[in-house]
Structure 1
Amino acid sequence: MNRLSGQAAHEQSTVVRALLQQPLLLRRGRHTHTLDLARRHQAELRAWFDHHLGWRLHIERDRLRLFKTPASTDPQGHLAPTARQCALYCLILAVLGECGKQTVLSELAEKITALTGAHGRLRRFDATHHRERVDLVAMVRLLTEQGVLATVGGESTTTRSQEKEYISGTGDALYDVDHRTAALLLASPVPPAQADGPQALADALEPARADTLDEGLRHALTRRLVDDPAVHWDDLPAQQRDFARARADALITAVRLGLDTRVEVRTEGAAVIDDELSDIEFPKASAASFATLALADLLCTRIDSSHPRRPYVSHTQLHDLAAQLSEQLGQLIPNINGQPISATRVLDACLPLLLQLGLVAHAPGGIQCRPVLARFRAPAGQGLRPEGEELMLFGAHDLPQPTTSEES
C-alpha cells in the first residue's frame, strides 16, 4: 500500500483495521461507510489479504466477511469462550438451517439435543442442566452480536429478561434469523463434521495453501503479528524464526502500512502498538487488576537487576514478592475480590491474569518472566501504570537495542 495515494491508502487501511477487529461486518451503523470503502477498493483489499495473510475476503453489498483463521488455536483473553461453548456455537449454526425466519431458545435446544443424540461422538446436550442453558444463551448472545440472530422488534432489554427466564427454567426468547449471514460464519478450511478429529481440524488451519515455503512462512508470521499482543522470536518454530530475522523489514513494513499503525521491533520480538488492534489491555479497573499491575512492576525490577532475557522466579521468591506487595496494597485498597489482602490472596488474584495475558509462563518450581512484561514497568516517580511512550513493548530503557527499528 506504500505506492498508493494518501487517501486511497487511508481508506484501505480503514477496512483492514475494521476486519481484523471484527471479521464479519454488516451494513449497519458505523460499518455502513466501511462497506462502501470495501466495495470501492475490493480488488486491492482482496489482493492484500491474500498476499500477506493467505485469507480470503468476501464482499457483498450488505456484508463483508474475512475468512480469517487464527495464528494460534490457543484461546486468548479472559473472555474467550470455553470449549463447550465453542461446540454449542457450531451446533447452533448447524441447526439454524432447519429453522424458519424466526426461532426460540427452546426450539434450538430441542434440535441440538436431537442432533447430539444422533451422533455418538458428540457430547449430548441436555437442556435440563442449568450450565447447559447458560452456555446456550451465551452463544446465542454472541450470534446476536454478530448479526446472525436479532431480537424481535429491537427490544433487547425484553429479550435479555426472557433469556434469564429461560436459564432459570421458566421462560423463552424469540429471535429473527439471518440465514445468509449464518452461512458466511464458518471460516474453517474444511467442514468440522468432515475432519478426522480436533487435531486434524487444527492442522487444517495452518497456512498450507501457500504455493511456496516462503509464502507459507510469510502468511504464518504476518498472522502472528496482526493477531498476537506480542510476538517473541524465541517462541517461533525454527523456520519461522529464521525467516523473521531475515525478512523483518518487509514483514513489519507490510503490517505498518497495511494497518496504518505503529509497530515496535526489538531484539526479542515485535508487536503492533495500537489500542484498537492487538495491544495488551488489562481488564477494567479493579482491586485485582491494580494488584496485578503492581506485581508486574515488582517482577520487572527483577528483569532490570538480573538482565537475563527470561528471568526465572521460584515459587518461594514469588511468594516473598507477593508478601512485600500485600503490605503496600494494604495502605491503598481495602480488599481483593472481597477478601482480606494477604500474600496468598495476591497470588491467587494476580498470577492467573499474568498467565492469561502471556506476561509470564509456568516453569518447574516457579514462573518465567517474558520480555513483554516490561511494558508494565512503572518508571520511577510515575506510579504503578506507565502511560504514553513509557508503555513500550519490551521496556524502552534497559533492554538491548533493536536490530530493526520502525519510525512511529
Structure 2
Amino acid sequence: MSRTGNQLARLESEEVARGVRLLLARPLLTAVYDHDGFDLIRRRREPIVKWFDYYCGWRVHVEPRAGYARLFKTTQRPDRTRPQFDRRRYMLLCLVCAELLAAPSTTLDALATRTKQAAAADDLPPFDPSRRSDRSAFADVLTFLQEQGAVEGDELQIRADPTLITRLLAAPASPSTVDTIEDLTRESRYENAHRSLWQRHSVMRRLVDDPVVYRDELTASQLAFLTSPSGRKIVQTGVGLAGCTLEERAEGFLVVDADAIATDTRFPDDDSNAKVAALLLLDRLARGPARFEDLVEEARELLTRFRNWAKAYQSDGGAGRLAADGLALLEAFGLARTENGTVRRLPAAARYAVEELHD
C-alpha cells in the first residue's frame, strides 16, 4: 500500500474510532448539537454501524437528511445506579412526549395544562403546574428534550420533532405490549443463537458501558469468554478499534478512553458539590468500611469546616443529602458498594487519592 493509502486508512480508522465513542457518550446525536460529530458519523456510517452490530449487538440508525444518529443501546441488565431522572420526572417525560406527538406545535402553558389533564385521565399521581416542585420537574423534562434536539422554542411557542421523540425509546419491545421489565428488555435474537454470540455482545456491552467491570459481577460463561485466548483477542480488537485500551487487574477490567470522548460524565471532577464530596468520602472509606451514618457525620464535618461551600446542603438534613448524593456517585462509578448496611470501597478506587483540604 502506498504512503497515501496508509494515511487514508489511518484517517478512516481514527474517524471510525471517534464516531464510535461519540455515540457511546451521546446515543442520540444531532447535527444541531454537534455538527462536526454528526458529519463524521454520517461519512463513516457503514464501519461504525458494523462495529456496534458485531461487537455489541446494538443497532445504529443514521438519518442524514433529518440530521441525527441514534444508537439503540439495549441491555438485559438495567443499571439503576445511573438514572436520568427520578420516578416523578420519568412519568412527566412520558406524558409530555405523548402530548407533543399529538400536538407538536404548542405553548408552554397549553402543554402544562394537557399534561395535567393526561395525568388525571390515566389515574397517575397528579401534576399541578402551580406547585413549585412540579414546575421544576416539568422544566427539567423540557430541558432534557431540548438537549436531545427533540424540542425547540420558548414559552410562547414550542415546536417538537415527532421523529426524534419516537427515537428516544431504545427498548426492543414496545412498553404497551409487555407486562414486566424483563419482557421490555428481552432480545429475541439470542433465543436460538449460538452461545458465543451472546457472550461476545454481553461482555462488550458491559465493558464499554460500565465504568469498571469486576470479575465477581460476570457470569461464569462471560468470564470464561473474556479470559479465553479467542475471547480476549476479540475484546482487545474491538476495544482497540474504538480507540480505547483494555486494562486488566486481578479484580476486574476497565476500558480506558484516554481522550475522554466516550465519557458522559467524569469523576473526579469539581463541577458539582456531590462529586467533591464523593472524592472526600472515598478517602474516608480508604480507612475501612463504614456505615452510612458514618458518612453523614463525615459530610457534616465538611459542611461545618467550609461554611461557604456547598450552600445547597447548608441546611437541616443537608449532611444526609450530601452523603447520599456522594455515595450514589461512588456506586455509579463502581468505586463503592453497600451491602447489609455497610459501605465498602472497591478495588478501582485505588486509582484515586485525595489531599487534605486547607481552610
Task: Say whether the fold is shared (TM-score over 0.5).
Answer: yes
Contact 1:292 1:351 in 2 (8 A): no
The Cα shift of 1:26 comes to 1.9
Number of the residue aligned with 1:111: 114
Contact 1:229 1:280 in 2 (8 A): no
- Within the alignment, does 1:140 sit opposite 2:152 as a pair? no
Pick the aligned partner of 1:73 from 72, 78, 98: 78
Equivalent residue pairs, number? 339
Q: Distance in 1 between matches of 2:85 and 2:262?
A: 19
Q: Distance in 2 between matches of 1:330 and 1:99?
A: 47
CA distance change for structure 1 residues 270 and 173 in 2, over 3 Å: closer, same or farther?
Answer: farther
Q: Partner amino acid for 2:107?
A: V
Q: Partner amino acid for 2:351?
A: R
Q: Distance in 2 between matches of 1:248 and 1:300?
A: 34
CA distance change for structure 1 residues 253 and 352 in 2, over 3 Å: closer, same or farther?
Answer: same
Q: Partner amino acid for 2:173?
A: V
Number of the residue aligned with 2:279: 293
Q: Any residues of structure 2 matched to 1:334-353 within 5 Å, and which?
A: 334=307, 337=310, 349-350=322-323, 352-353=325-326
| Percentage of identical aligned residues | 27
Number of the residue aligned with 2:3: none
Q: Any residues of structure 2 matched to 1:234-383 within 5 Å, and which?
A: 234-246=216-228, 249-274=232-257, 275-278=260-263, 280-284=266-270, 289-290=275-276, 292-300=278-286, 302=288, 313-315=289-291, 322=298, 333-334=306-307, 337=310, 349-350=322-323, 352-358=325-331, 359-378=335-354, 383=355
Q: Distance in 2 between matches of 1:345 and 1:137?
A: 24
Bigger mean CA deviation after superposition, 108-117 or 179-188 = 108-117
Number of the residue aligned with 1:63: 68
CA distance change for structure 1 residues 242 and 207 in 2, over 3 Å: closer, same or farther?
Answer: farther
Contact 1:54 1:207 in 2 (8 A): no
Contact 1:287 1:335 in 2 (8 A): no
Contact 2:303 2:319 in 1 (8 A): no
Q: Deviations over 1:294-343 (max 9, x none)?
A: 442343355xxxxxxxxxx25399579949x95xx7998456645999xx
- Please, which runs of 5 or more residues in structure 1 have no aligned partner? 152-158, 160-171, 303-312, 386-408
Contact 2:18 2:261 in 1 (8 A): no
Q: Name the SS for the 1:5 alignment partner.
A: helix
TM-score, structure 1 as length reference: 0.70
Q: Deviations over 1:5-30 (max 9, x none)?
A: 2111111112111111111122236x
Number of the residue aligned with 1:228: 210
CA distance change for structure 1 residues 183 and 241 in 2, over 3 Å: closer, same or farther?
Answer: same
- Within the alignment, does 1:180 sit opposite 2:142 as a pair? no
CA distance change for structure 1 residues 331 and 27 in 2, over 3 Å: closer, same or farther?
Answer: closer
Bigger mean CA deviation after superposition, 62-71 or 223-232 = 62-71
Contact 1:226 1:255 in 2 (8 A): no
The Cα shift of 1:272 comes to 2.2
- Please, which runs of 5 or more residues in structure 2 have no aligned partner? 1-7
Q: Deviations over 1:130-157 (max 9, x none)?
A: 3222212211111011111112xxxxxx
Contact 2:215 2:251 in 1 (8 A): yes
Bigger mean CA deviation after superposition, 279-288 or 254-263 = 279-288
Q: Deviations over 1:227-276 (max 9, x none)?
A: 11111111223332333333652354144323202332111111222333
Q: Distance in 2 between matches of 1:126 and 1:319?
A: 36
Q: Distance in 1 between matches of 2:313 and 2:98?
A: 47
- Within the alignment, does 1:86 sit opposite 2:90 as a pair? yes
Q: Partner amino acid for 2:291?
A: H
Over the aligned positions, Cα root-mean-square deviation in angstroms equals: 3.6
Number of the residue aligned with 2:43: 40
Bigger mean CA deviation after superposition, 67-76 or 87-96 = 67-76
The Cα shift of 1:65 comes to 1.3
Contact 1:71 1:224 in 2 (8 A): no
CA distance change for structure 1 residues 108 and 200 in 2, over 3 Å: closer, same or farther?
Answer: farther
TM-score, structure 2 as length reference: 0.79
Q: Distance in 2 between matches of 1:340 and 1:150?
A: 33
